[in-house]
């Protein structure tokens, strides 16, 4: 006994291996479309969004530390001392930074800036002073005295890493998640207005490391509160990113979601 291959063409007619029924001239009930006693039944099931499971998965992901195989620190504030010497308040994200380390400051400038760590100071809150330390480990917030080319400046929002380990990018693809409506302030009409503005290309920022940067989605995007998606963004300024960099989605100072960089472009 041969094998019958029942296929349904664009009209809903059944044929063998894609052959069409030339005598068909109108709609045919699906219940009548049987092949070898099998009934053909088609049901459209829309995608189901489960905000609670999405939320739990993202909170777990956001709670995990970044895993990098090189020292990394984000610059929060900069205080120029003299030409070629600046004090930077940094948060060490991975590894450790030591006195005499030679690093690069990357981001918010066309080119990276070579720096040398001259001194590291750790705050002592109970005495309202700082103490000099030899190195700062991941999780530390410290003041770092940096020597650099007098013709260059250290900029808040830049990141420190060994030479060649970071690159500044103005474009990246990312996984993003929007907070559910009950975790955002405002009334439903106000939340709708936020989504309308971002869809129109207004007010979107991504908060990367220590600074918010104006951004826009490369394709038409309307935020779906409580849902996750994949997007590509273009930024107004180059920022140091690597696969796995986390960021916040912001609108006029309000954080309404989060994301992780998947791949970085130019």
- How do residues 225-248 score in pLDDT, each as one tens digit? 999 999 999 999 999 999 999 999
3-state secondary structure of 84: coil
Pairing of strands 204-208, 96-98: unpaired
Q: Residues 103-151: pLDDT tens digits?
A: 999 999 989 999 999 999 999 988 888 999 999 999 999 999 999 999 9
DSSP β-bridge partners for residue 160: 73, 105
Give pLDDT tens digits for 188-202.
999 999 999 999 999
* 154 CB-contact burial (10 Å; exposed 0-12 / middle 13-18 / buried 19+): buried
pLDDT at residue 149, rounded to an integer: 97
Q: What is the length of the chain?
A: 266
pLDDT on residue 17:
42
Q: According to the model, what pLDDT value does residue 49 have?
A: 63
Residue extent(s) of CATH 2.40.30.10 domains in the chain:
72-164, 168-264
Q: Where are the beta strands (DSSP E) in 14-71?
A: 14-16, 34-35, 38-39
Assign a CATH topology to domain 168-264.
Elongation Factor Tu (Ef-tu); domain 3 (2.40.30)
What is the Cα Rg of the chain in Å?
A: 27
Task: Tell me which fold the domain 72-164 belongs to.
Answer: Elongation Factor Tu (Ef-tu); domain 3 (2.40.30)
Model confidence at 9: pLDDT above 90? no
pTM, two decimals, is 0.76
**Mean per-residue pLDDT of the chain:** 85
Q: What is the dihedral of CA 144, 150, 153, 158, to 10 degrees?
A: -50
Give the CA angle between residues 234, 184, 48 to the nearest 5°.
80
Other CB atoms closer than 10 Å to residue 73's CB: what's the count?
A: 28
The pLDDT assigned to 125 comes to 85
Q: What confidence tier does 100 reach under pLDDT thresholds 50, 70, 90?
A: very high
Query: Contact, 183 vs 255, CB < 8 A?
Result: no
In 141-212, where does DSSP find H-type helix? 188-199
pLDDT confidence of residue 50: 80
- At residue 266, the pLDDT reads 65
pLDDT tens, position by position, 20-63: 444 444 444 434 434 434 444 445 444 556 888 999 999 998 88
Residue 261 has pLDDT above 50, yes or no: yes
- Contact at 8 Å (CB) between 179 and 208? no
């Amino acid at each position: 006994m041969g094998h019958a291959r029942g296929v349904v063409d664009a009209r809903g007619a059944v044929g063998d291996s894609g052959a069409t029924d030339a005598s068909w001239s109108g709609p045919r009930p699906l219940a009548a479309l049987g092949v070898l006693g099998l009934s053909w039944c088609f049901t459209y099931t829309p995608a189901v969004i489960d905000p609670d499971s999405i939320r739990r998965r993202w909170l777990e992901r956001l709670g995990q530390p970044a895993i990098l195989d090189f020292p990394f620190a984000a610059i929060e504030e900069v205080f120029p001392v003299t030409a070629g010497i600046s004090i930077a308040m940094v948060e060490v994200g991975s590894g450790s930074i030591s006195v005499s380390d030679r690093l690069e400051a990357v981001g918010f400038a066309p080119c990276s800036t070579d720096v040398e760590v001259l001194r590291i100071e750790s705050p002592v809150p109970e005495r309202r002073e700082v103490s000099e330390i030899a190195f700062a480990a991941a999780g530390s917030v410290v003041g770092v005295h940096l020597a650099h080319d007098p013709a260059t400046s250290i900029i808040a929002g830049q990141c420190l890493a060994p030479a060649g380990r970071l690159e500044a990018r103005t474009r990246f693809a990312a996984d993003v998640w929007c907070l559910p409506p009950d975790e955002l302030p405002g009334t439903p009409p106000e939340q709708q207005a936020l989504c309308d503005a971002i869809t129109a290309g207004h007010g979107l920022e991504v908060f990367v490391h220590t600074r918010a940067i104006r951004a826009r989605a490369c394709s038409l995007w309307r935020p779906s509160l409580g849902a996750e998606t994949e997007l590509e963004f273009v930024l107004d300024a180059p920022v140091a990113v690597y696969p796995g960099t986390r960021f916040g989605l912001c609108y006029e100072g309000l954080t309404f979601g989060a994301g992780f960089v998947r791949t970085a472009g130019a």
